[in-house]
Amino acid sequence: MSPNEIRKGTVIRFDGALWIVTEFQRVSPGKGSSFVRTRIKNLTTGKVVENNFKSAESLDFEDVQYKKMQYLFNDGHLYTFMDNASYEQVALSKEDIGEDIKFLKEGVEVMIILHNGNPLTIELPNKIEYTVAETEPAVKGNTASGNVTKEAKMDNGLVVKVPIFIGEGDQIIVNTDSGDYAERVSK
Amino acid sequence: MKKLLGQGMEEIFTLTKVFRNNEEFGGVHNPEFTMLEWYAQGADYLACMDETEALVREVGKAFGKMFPAFRRLRVRDLFLEKVGLDLDWATKTSLQEACDRMSIHTDLSDTESDLYYRLFLSKIEPELGKDPIFVYDYPAFQAALSKLTPDGKYGQRFELYIDGIELCNAFTELTDPIEQRKRFMSELAERKASGKPAYPIDETLLRLLPSVRQPTYGNALGVDRLHLVVTGRSSIEDVLLFPVSSIFSL
pLDDT at A145: 54
pLDDT of residue A144: 54
Residues of chain B where predicted confidence (pLDDT) is lower than 70: 22-26, 144, 249-250
Query: B24, A53: Cβ pair inside 8 Å?
Result: no
pTM over 0.90: no
Distance CA B51, CA B46 (A): 9
- What's the mean pLDDT when you consider all of chain A? 87
Q: Indicate which of B21, B23, B24 best probes the interface with A, i.e. most A CBs within 10 Å of its own CB.
A: B24
Instruction: Give residue-wise pLDDT tens across range B40-71.
Output: 999 999 999 999 999 999 999 999 999 999 99
ipTM: 0.77
* Per-residue pLDDT tens digits for B118-141: 999 999 999 999 999 999 999 998
Chain B residues with beta carbon closer than 8 angstroms to that of A55: 194
Q: Do B194 and A55 touch (CB under 8 A)?
A: yes
CA B226, CA B12: separation in Å to the nearest integer? 20
Sign of dihedral through CA atoms A78, A83, A89, A90? negative
Helix residue spans in chain B (DSSP H):
2-6, 45-62, 75-82, 92-101, 112-119, 177-193, 203-208, 223-231, 244-247
Using 50, 70 and 90 to split pLDDT, how confident is the model at A177? confident
Which residues lie closer than 8 Å to B168 by C-beta, 6 or more apart? B52, B159, B160, B219, B220, B221, B222
> pLDDT of A7-58, one tens digit each?
878 899 998 888 989 888 888 776 778 899 998 988 777 788 899 999 889 9
Count interface pairs A-B at CB distance under 8 A.
70
